[in-house]
Structure 1
Amino acid sequence: MLAIVAQVLGFVMLIPQGILPIIFLAANVQSKSWFLALYVPEPMSLVVAIAFVIVGGLLAFFGTRSVIRWT
C-alpha cells in the first residue's frame, strides 16, 4: 500500500508540480494555476520546481520498483 502511495505521489510531484512549472517558467507564462513552484518568490521558483522533479522522480522510481517486486 505504501509503495502505491509513493508511486502516485511521486508522479504528481514529478509531472504537474515539477516538469510543467519548468515549462511555464521557460515560456514565461503568467498563469500560476495550482503549481506550487510558481507561488514562491521569483528567484526560488526554478529551484523549487527542480526539487519537485528530483523528489518526485525518486518517489516514483522506488514506488514503481516496490510494486514490481510484489508481482
Structure 2
Amino acid sequence: MARDPDAIERDIEQAREALASTLDQLSDKANPKRFVEYGKSSLQEKLSDPRVRYVLIGVGALVTVAVVRKLFR
C-alpha cells in the first residue's frame, strides 16, 4: 500500500529537524573556544594543587640559578 504524500512530507520534515538539531549539537561540541576554555580550566585546576605548584617553583628556581651561574662565569 502506498503512503500518503503528506505523511512522507511530515517524515522528511522531522528528519530535517533531527538532522539540524544534531548538527547544532556537534558544532557546539567542536567549537574551538570550548576546547580553549576546557584547557584553561584544566590547567588552573592542576596549578591549584600545591604539589604541582611547588615543583614548578623549584624547577624555576633551579633554571634561574643555572642561567645566573652561566652568565657570571
Q: Do these two structures clear the TM 0.5 threshold for a shared fold by scoring above it? A: no
**Which TM-score band (shorter chain)?**
0.3 to 0.5
Structure number with greater Rg is: 2
Higher relative contact order (CA 8 A, sep 6+): 1
Give the structure with the larger helix fraction: 2
